[in-house]
Amino acid sequence: MHGRLKVKSTAQQEEQKRQEREKKLKIFVAVRDACFSKRKEGIWDDEALKLTQQVLSSNPDFATLWNYRKEILMHQETVKEKDEVQTIYGAELSFLESCLQTNPKSYGSWYHRGWVSSRMPKPDWARELTLCDRCLSLDERNFHCWDYRRMVVKMSGVSVDQELAFTDRLIGSNFSNYSSWHYRSTLLPLLHPESPEPPSPCLKPAQTSPPPSPQTHSHRVCEEQLLKEYELVQNAFFTDPNDQSAWFYYRWLLGRAEREDMISCVYVSRDEERVAVAFSRPVNAQSVGLLLVLDGQPQRVEWRSVHPRFKHSPLWICDLPPGTISDISYEHNLTVHWTEKHIHRDCALYTGRTESYCRDSAMDQELFRSELSVEKTSVLQSELQSCNQLQELEPLNKWCSLTIILLMRALDPLGYEKEMLAHFQTLREVDSMRSAYYSDLCSKFMIENTILKMEYAEVRVFSISDKNLTTLCHLDQLLLVTHINLSSNQLQRLPPQFAMLQCLEVLEADNNSIENLEGLYHLPKLEEVLLKNNKISTLADLQPLASCPKLKRLDLRGNPVTQIANVESELAELLPAVKDLLL
Amino acid sequence: MAAEELPSEFDVVILGTGLVESVVAAACSRVGQRVLHLDRRSYYAANWASFTFNGLLTWIQQHHESQSEEVQDRSSLLEEGEELIYLCNSDSASISNLQTHDFVQSQAPHTDGEEPETAQPQPPTAPSQSEPVRKKISYTHLVKEGRRFNIDLVSKLMFSRGSLVDLLIKSNVSRYAEFKNITRILTYRNGNTEQVPCSRADVFASRQLSVVEKRKLMRFLTSCVEETEEQQVYNGRPYLEFLRDQHLGDNLQHFLLHSIAMVTEDTPTEVGLTSTRHFLRSLGRYGNTPFLFPVYGLGEIPQCFCRMCAVFGGIYCLRHSVQCLLVDKNTNRCKGVIDSRGQRISCSHFVVEDGFVSAERKKVATPPRSISRAVLITDASILPSDSDQQVSMVTVPPIAAGSPSVTMVELCSATMTCAPGTYLVHLTCQSVGSAHEDLSPVVTRMFHTSESHDQDERPSVLWCLYFNMADGSAAQVEGHDLPSNVHMCSGPDGGLGHEHAITQAQSIFDKILPQEDFCPPAPNPEDIIYTEEETKKEGVEEEEEKETTKEGEEEEEEKTNEEEKETKKEKEEEEEETKPLKEE
């Protein structure tokens, strides 16, 4: 039904239709009212069946009447013999068939069919399956039918490999079919599950770990089958690289399981008497049972996210009771327990130190490969080769370029950086409607690369100037950064997540288009903010800075805000602590 | 038969029931012309006919016997200012080099005792082709099952967007027939039969092509639909050269040249591209290949048009010919005809199959061209697959330098052209030598004939027929020594489609009735008012109209629709004995 032109009919036909419609409407309304009044009186007789049938056959999406019909049928069940009930339900099914013929995408009809089939004393599942197959052969994208079919398959216990063969058949006749590819992705893990991994030496205690939930673990497929699937899907996208369904399936195949839950970092600062905890995913610390133990003593602390806007956050902070760790001559041992997951992380604050942290680095976590699975490098390498081959043939195909980027990132994010940027450039050109999306994605990957570089260099300086950044992300990974350089990019704002940079002392963000500083919120160590040549235009935009207690130096040259009358005195009032103000 | 007289006045008299004549008949009758349609033969469709096995044997026999009827002098019927042009009586000149081979009978000494058993009716489902030992099918069995065969004299396919399909749809003649898709395109290459991937689904599923080849093929197929400047550079140069320069591998070049464009290595690029586009345009309209085949054989098509003609009042007589034309000496126009019984029938136009026009009056290409044909009945498909009901089009490139490229069509029993368990194979090529010389090398290579012994994977030929047929495209449309209102129709041409015949029919119609629409959609059967039917029917020898019309109505109620052909398959199978419009 997709892509068909609608044809206008002539005025005369219109008029004729209108009259017919009016006539029909009169009858429809009369019968509908009769149905309603019968239902009100609680009559569940054959005539009610007939009346509802009359209405429903012209409008099968009348949910109330389907419900009335269900009541009638359930009543009949109680008063009639089993054989008779079977016949009644049989008739109901053939009535539904006629409804589906008039509207094969009627929610009501399909739902009712499911209800009837499940109540029938002796359901004929084989027949239902044939009906579905016939429907799908007429329109392979009828998702109502796909839904109903799933139910039939479940009830009749069709084997998984039969179902896989069914998707083979559908894909064979026309592979532009999201439903079939998706169905495959649910069947394959059942049929060819990945062999269980040896327990990884991670922080979670093995014996108490909960059974793997289907969402996180069972959706991987064994490698042998994966290779076959790669071949199949390659055939599809080489045949028609503009068909996105195959590419999406390919991405699913390349994707890997979600990262396991963990506490990735614990940071403690003596000056602020504050603890910050970073998690592998956003959590709500108030509800996950977070417990802080200091020197063997559980502490009553109040966890808060870095910005009031976040209910879920990968980073949570708490203030210790005043005086608990402020004496620099004492050593303290901290443990943060994530009781819900039986995970904990320790951190020791030695004598003479003003701060301390304990963490897994981004490299250890293979954090940024999470887009793709950690298959053997050789497999990914050969996939990259075929995609490159396709790209040579189809240099303007966006799906191909995008997939190449993902494969390169899985293989060697830093080594392929230059090529990746070239592919992004192509993408922005061939798919200009989505150039902003590509810029954001490119920014994300560039930030990932910079984080990796920073970790290799084992420094706490994050420098990413002049890289055409349009957005900031992975800010939870920058918890420990003291100095950030974002100069000469295309950033428009410092988002609330920026407040996760709890150790930040110097912010360089000259030559951007920043107009919003929301993220400079309660940054305890921030001393210097350089915002030359940005787009900050009102004093209100600078309001968040007032929450940063140590801010001393602020460069606002080249911002519209400097044109405001009395800006100097206003700023002195707003930010009394700032000694060094450049306007 | 009682010598009832025909009406003596018609608008158009047509002699010969081949495709062109039948289309002209239907077109004229449809717009209200009084049409008399005659054929000297006892069957419809002339050289376009389909025969049962036994019918074909009779046809062969007739061609072996010389048939010369004495020419009666009709000059007594002449009126003032008229002269006569005598027509040929025999049309057998168009068929030559008839030769049959019967491989099952030659094995008779071995199988004599078993024959009654093997002649037992086969189980309704054909034996699986993968069985190592295939059941031997005897000649007796073929004769016994003879009525299940519908063997075409010509082998053609209908392009889904070709002029014949368009005409069938436009005129509603399609309701008189049913069609099946050709299910696969095959090619013979390096001694193997391979499937040619031509649709998107085929390309996706193909196991012979690498992914890169798939991409190249799909790209070529999508790109060549549009005319580009790059293509024009190659005008006049061979298509093969163009294909090479597109960096298509040997595999793809073979598929594109022989199976999709269906041209030869030296065909110029512009011609190759045109036929490639024709192929691609037809793809996907009704299925995964661009071709349709009429159930019960190609002979159905001319008969469908005859039926349309009859529904609109045309009168039909078989075994009834025209002996001579009456020509007005002054105007040099045909005033009428004298039929084989000596009746004078006046008409404004006379349409005639070229076989009835004597050679000295015709202008044909020199040397005369002909088509080589072979018909095989085999016991297995040349490329066994999951389904034993495949309908395959096979292109066989020249197997040696100088030999012709051969088009082969393998029909299964589901097309109602052969008995269950057998396959009907048609081979066609432009003649280089006799049909046997041209085609037997291909047959012996691809099939197991009795000359080759022992266990053989290849299908066995049970029976085969070779013959040559005059190439209809050799006859010129203009320049014959005939009155201007006499229109000559050529017989079947060697091409795969029906373009030549339909174009010719339309141009004849346009000459007869320049102002009229060619085959406008027929109204619904219930809207047609039959009035003078009864009066017309009187006095018509071998009248078929009544039967025709009645059957027509029945058929029409069945809502025959091209697109619904699949759903009608089962019905068809039940009704296989009742074939509309068959002489028997």
Q: What is the tens place of the pLDDT at every residue in B261-292?
A: 999 888 999 999 999 999 999 988 888 899 99
Q: Do A394 and B215 touch (CB under 8 A)?
A: yes
Q: Do B211 and A172 touch (CB under 8 A)?
A: no
Determine contact, residues B245/B237, Cβ cutoff 8 Å. Answer: no
Distance CA A457, CA B467 (A): 86
Q: What percent of chain A has pLDDT over 90?
A: 59
Instruction: Spell out which residues of chain A touch residue B219, defining contact as CB-CB under 8 Å.
Output: 393-394
**Would you call A174 an interface residue with chain B, using a CB distance cutoff of 8 Å?**
yes
Chain centroid to CA A425: how far? 25
**Would you call A235 an interface residue with chain B, using a CB distance cutoff of 8 Å?**
yes
SS3 A338: strand
Instruction: Spell out which residues of chain A touch residue B181, defining contact as CB-CB under 8 Å.
Output: none
**Across the strands, what pairs with B84?**
B326
Q: Do A393 and B219 touch (CB under 8 A)?
A: yes
Q: Looking at chain B, which residue has its C-alpha nearest residue A168?
A: B205
Structure tokens at B105: 């009978």
CB count, 10 Å around CB of B349? 24
Residue length of chain A: 583
Q: Per-residue pLDDT tens for B479-535?
A: 778 899 999 999 999 999 999 999 999 999 999 999 999 998 887 665 555 554 444
**Across the strands, what pairs with B393?**
B185, B409
Instruction: Spell out which residues of chain A touch residue B218, defining contact as CB-CB under 8 Å.
Output: 238-240
Is the predicted pLDDT of residue B541 greater than 60, yes or no? no
Give me the pLDDT at residue A377, please: 76
State the smallest CA–CA distance between residue B221 and chain A in angstroms: 11
State the smallest CA–CA distance between residue A236 and chain B in angstroms: 6
Q: Do A394 and B201 touch (CB under 8 A)?
A: no
At residue A362 the predicted structure's pLDDT band, cuts being 50, 70 and 90, is: low
Of A131-140, B31-40, B123-132, which gets the smallest average pLDDT? B123-132
Q: Which residue has the higher pLDDT, B544 or A575?
A: A575
Give me the pLDDT at residue A251, please: 87
Long-range contacts of A512-518 (CB under 8 A, 24+ apart): A512/A486, A512/A487, A512/A488, A515/A541, A516/A492, A516/A541, A517/A493, A517/A541, A517/A542, A517/A544, A517/A545, A518/A307, A518/A493, A518/A494, A518/A544
Give me the pLDDT at residue B137, please: 81
**Residue among B365, B328, B318, B330 at smallest CA distance from B540:** B318
Of A93-97, A191-195, A548-552, B252-256, which gets the smallest average pLDDT? A191-195
Instruction: Spell out which residues of chain B touch residue A240, defining contact as CB-CB under 8 Å.
Output: 200, 204, 218
Q: What percent of chain A has pLDDT over 70?
A: 90
**Would you call A19 an interface residue with chain B, using a CB distance cutoff of 8 Å?**
no
* For residues A306-315, average pLDDT: 92
Q: Do B218 and A173 touch (CB under 8 A)?
A: no
State the smallest CA–CA distance between residue B218 and chain A in angstroms: 6
**pTM to 2 decimal places:** 0.76
**Would you call A165 an interface residue with chain B, using a CB distance cutoff of 8 Å?**
no
Is the predicted pLDDT of residue B559 greater than 70, yes or no? no
At residue A326 the predicted structure's pLDDT band, cuts being 50, 70 and 90, is: confident
Of A210-224, A485-499, B563-577, which gets the smallest average pLDDT? B563-577
* For residues B162-182, average pLDDT: 94
* For residues A105-109, average pLDDT: 92
**Would you call A287 an interface residue with chain B, using a CB distance cutoff of 8 Å?**
no
Q: Which residue has the higher pLDDT, B457 or A329?
A: A329
Q: Looking at chain A, which residue has its C-alpha nearest residue B200?
A: A239
**Would you call B284 an interface residue with chain A, using a CB distance cutoff of 8 Å?**
no
User: Sign of dihedral through CA atoms A148, A151, A157, A161?
Assistant: positive
Give me the pLDDT at residue A24, please: 87
**Best to test chain A binding among B195, B208, B213, B215 (most A CBs inside 10 Å):** B215
Instruction: Spell out which residues of chain A touch residue B201, defining contact as CB-CB under 8 Å.
Output: 172-175
Q: Which residue has the higher pLDDT, B480 or B173?
A: B173
Give me the pLDDT at residue A468, please: 94
Q: Do A235 and B204 touch (CB under 8 A)?
A: yes
Looking at every residue in chain B, the average pLDDT score rounds to 82
Give me the pLDDT at residue A575, please: 92
Q: Which of A236, A389, A394 shows the shortest C-beta gap to B204?
A: A236
Q: Which residue has the higher pLDDT, B554 or B172?
A: B172
**Would you call B219 an interface residue with chain A, using a CB distance cutoff of 8 Å?**
yes
Buried b (16+ CB within 10 A) or exposed e, B232-261: eebeeebbbebbeebebbebbbbbbbbbbb
Give me the pLDDT at residue A224, please: 81
**Would you call A159 an interface residue with chain B, using a CB distance cutoff of 8 Å?**
no
- ipTM of predicted assembly, 2 dp: 0.73
Q: Which amino acid is at A131?
A: L
State the smallest CA–CA distance between residue B206 and chain A in angstroms: 9
Give me the pLDDT at residue B1, please: 45
Q: Per-residue pLDDT tens for B120-153?
A: 444 444 444 444 445 678 888 899 999 999 999 9
DSSP output for A202-254: -SS-TTTPPPPPTTTTTT-B-HHHHHHHHHHHHHHHHH-TT-HHHHHHHHHHH
Q: Per-residue pLDDT tens for A481-501?
A: 999 999 999 999 999 999 999
Q: Do B204 and A390 touch (CB under 8 A)?
A: no
* For residues B12-18, average pLDDT: 95
Instruction: Spell out which residues of chain A touch residue B221, defining contact as CB-CB under 8 Å.
Output: none
* For residues A57-61, average pLDDT: 87
Q: Which of A236, A240, A393 shows the shortest C-beta gap to B212?
A: A393
Unique residue bearing structure tokens 């929610």: A107
Tell me chain A's radius of gyration from C-alpha atoms.
Answer: 32
* For residues A297-307, average pLDDT: 92
Q: Do A386 and B201 touch (CB under 8 A)?
A: no
Three-state secondary structure of A371-437: CCCCCCHHHHHHHHHHHHHHHHHCCCCHHHHHHHHHHHHHHCCCCCHHHHHHHHHHHHHHCHHHHHH
Size of interface A-B (CB pairs under 8 A): 41
Q: Do A235 and B215 touch (CB under 8 A)?
A: no
At residue A367 the predicted structure's pLDDT band, cuts being 50, 70 and 90, is: low
Residue length of chain B: 584
Give me the pLDDT at residue A17, please: 84
Scan residues 124-153 of A and list those with Cβ closer than 8 Å to B.
Answer: none
Instruction: Spell out which residues of chain A touch residue B205, defining contact as CB-CB under 8 Å.
Output: 172, 235
Looking at every residue in chain A, the average pLDDT score rounds to 87
Q: What percent of chain B has pLDDT over 70?
A: 80
Give me the pLDDT at residue A470, please: 96
State the smallest CA–CA distance between residue B215 and chain A in angstroms: 5
Give me the pLDDT at residue A14, please: 80
**Would you call A425 an interface residue with chain B, using a CB distance cutoff of 8 Å?**
no
* For residues A293-315, average pLDDT: 92
Q: Per-residue pLDDT tens for B337-388?
A: 999 888 999 999 999 998 888 877 877 767 788 999 999 999 999 999 988 8
Q: Which residue has the higher pLDDT, B293 or B360?
A: B293
Unique residue bearing structure tokens 């000056």: A271
Q: Do A236 and B218 touch (CB under 8 A)?
A: no
**Would you call A241 an interface residue with chain B, using a CB distance cutoff of 8 Å?**
yes
Give me the pLDDT at residue A261, please: 84
Q: Do A175 and B219 touch (CB under 8 A)?
A: no
**Would you call B385 an interface residue with chain A, using a CB distance cutoff of 8 Å?**
no
Of A218-227, A317-326, B13-22, B399-408, which gets the smallest average pLDDT? A218-227
User: Sign of dihedral through CA atoms B345, B347, B352, B356?
Assistant: positive
Is the predicted pLDDT of residue B546 greater than 50, yes or no? no
**Would you call A394 an interface residue with chain B, using a CB distance cutoff of 8 Å?**
yes
Instruction: Spell out which residues of chain B touch residue A238, defining contact as CB-CB under 8 Å.
Output: 211-212, 214-215, 218
* For residues A531-559, average pLDDT: 94
**Residue among A292, A271, A282, A290 at smallest CA distance from A346:** A292
Give me the pLDDT at residue B581, please: 33
Give me the pLDDT at residue A444, please: 94
**Would you call B215 an interface residue with chain A, using a CB distance cutoff of 8 Å?**
yes
Give chain A's domains with CATH numbers. Answer: 14-174 (1.25.40.120), 223-254+367-439 (1.25.40), 263-360 (2.60.40.1130), 459-582 (3.80.10.10)
Give me the pLDDT at residue B249, please: 87
Q: Looking at chain B, which residue has its C-alpha nearest residue A241?
A: B215
Scan residues 170-209 of B and list those with Cβ closer than 8 Å to A.
Answer: 200-201, 203-205
State the smallest CA–CA distance between residue A233 and chain B in angstroms: 9
**Best to test chain A binding among B184, B204, B210, B223 (most A CBs inside 10 Å):** B204
State the smallest CA–CA distance between residue B193 and chain A in angstroms: 22
**Would you call A173 an interface residue with chain B, using a CB distance cutoff of 8 Å?**
yes
Determine contact, residues B345/B336, Cβ cutoff 8 Å. Answer: yes
Is the predicted pLDDT of residue A82 greater than 90, yes or no? no
